[in-house]
Amino acid sequence: MRFVLCTILLILSILPATQSAQAPVIDSHQHLVSPAGAALVTGNPNSPGISARDLVALLDSAGIWRALVLSMAYTWGKASRAPVENEYEHVKAENDWVAQQVAQYPDRLRAFCSFNPLKSYALEELARCKKDPQLHYGLKLHFGNSDVDLDNPNDVAKVKKVFEAANRYRMPIVVHMRTSIDNQRKYGADQARVFLNQLLAAAPRVPVQIAHLGGAGGYNSETDSALGVFAEAITKHDVRMKNVWFDATVVVRPNMSPEDLQRIAARIRQIGVERLLYGSDAAASPLAYPKAGWAAFQRLPLTPDELRTVATNVPPYMRDFARR
């Protein structure tokens, strides 16, 4: 009897260290891609894309029930690709395809619409998404893909109009704010201040989710200095940070040193684990599947309590789903 009790106690003492933390209740950064969109991005005309059915199967294998699906329609207006004929028609078709896909899983998937915010059709597309039963939930912008230059006042003014309109429509915004690496845009604290002062200030009534902890995947000193601006603003109770969330999508890379992981964990504690969301990114390869992504995230030296907080965080735009 005593032996059995000791064995059980021994197993219980080992379990927390060896078992992975509770799976996230939401994958807050996912993508679906139409076959046409996948052909454009990969250059392979037979590319199947990523359907809702594919994604739901991957979520199931990770034990994740819900996902926020960010349309990649912006890629039809990608700055560093040759222009596509009838671009806006393709943008609409991509957003509509994503809407049709998520509609098949109304209790599991929710979609945000997207477009390049520098294009002449930007505000028209936002207004169209606002009226769509599947796409009115929010907006995804990708400053890198669209080459929004935060040092260029003309670009900032155009994007500000989109933020103001989203604010009016009460559409939350997910933003990949890291500027273009292809075009070697400067990025760091100065650009984060433009974002805080010009863009966040223009959308005070909607939540804003800053993707990849302010970077583009991985973590470097540029991302760290941008994130430092937000951490400082949060410490000072800056009202513009009240509705701001962060996702840590593909921030942890396999080759990261313990020092890098410590640096990221320290920044996460500064911004607060209660603002941090787990995200996987597009399931383009097995390493990017939700199960692998969550395993990678858990390499961060966070406590079990902190991991649990991240796993159970639910941003406002992922509440009030159809009942299971």
| Helix count and strand count (H, E) for the chain | 12, 8
- Shortest distance in whole angstroms from residue 40 CB to Zn ion: 16
Q: How far apart are CA 259 and CA 15, in angstroms?
A: 26
Pick between residue 137 and residue 240 the one whose CB is nearest to Zn ion.
Answer: 137
Q: How far apart are CA 59 and CA 299, in angstroms?
A: 20
User: One-letter amino acid identity for 16?
Assistant: P
Q: In Å, what is the CA distance from 34 to each residue of 110, 130, 249, 281, 284?
A: 16, 21, 22, 16, 13
Closest-approach residue to Zn ion (CB): 281
Pick between residue 125 and residue 281 the one whose CB is nearest to Zn ion.
Answer: 281
- Shortest distance in whole angstroms from residue 142 CB to Zn ion: 8
Q: Which two tokens stand for residue 268?
A: 């996460």
Q: Which two tokens stand for residue 30?
A: 């996912």
Going across the sheet that includes 173-176, the strands are 26-30, 66-70, 109-114, 139-142, 173-176, 208-210, 244-247, 276-277
> Which of 196, 169, 159, 51 lies closest to 111 in space, CA to CA?
51
Pick between residue 215 and residue 228 the one whose CB is nearest to Zn ion.
Answer: 215
In this structure, the chain runs to a length of 324
Residue 102 makes CB contacts below 8 A (sequence gap 6+) with 32, 52, 69, 109, 110, 111, 134
- Shortest distance in whole angstroms from residue 164 CB to Zn ion: 24
Pick between residue 130 and residue 142 the one whose CB is nearest to Zn ion.
Answer: 142
Pick between residue 134 and residue 280 the one whose CB is nearest to Zn ion.
Answer: 280
- Shortest distance in whole angstroms from residue 249 CB to Zn ion: 6
Using CB under 5 A, list all residues that contact Zn ion. 281
- Shortest distance in whole angstroms from residue 148 CB to Zn ion: 16
Pick between residue 155 and residue 281 the one whose CB is nearest to Zn ion.
Answer: 281
Pick between residue 260 and residue 281 the one whose CB is nearest to Zn ion.
Answer: 281
| β partners of residue 141 | 175
> Which of 246, 274, 266, 143 lies closest to 199 in space, CA to CA?
143
**224: three-class secondary structure by DSSP:** helix
- Shortest distance in whole angstroms from residue 202 CB to Zn ion: 23
> Which of 115, 117, 103, 98 lies closest to 38 in space, CA to CA?
98
Pick between residue 137 and residue 233 the one whose CB is nearest to Zn ion.
Answer: 137
- Shortest distance in whole angstroms from residue 31 CB to Zn ion: 6
- Shortest distance in whole angstroms from residue 242 CB to Zn ion: 24
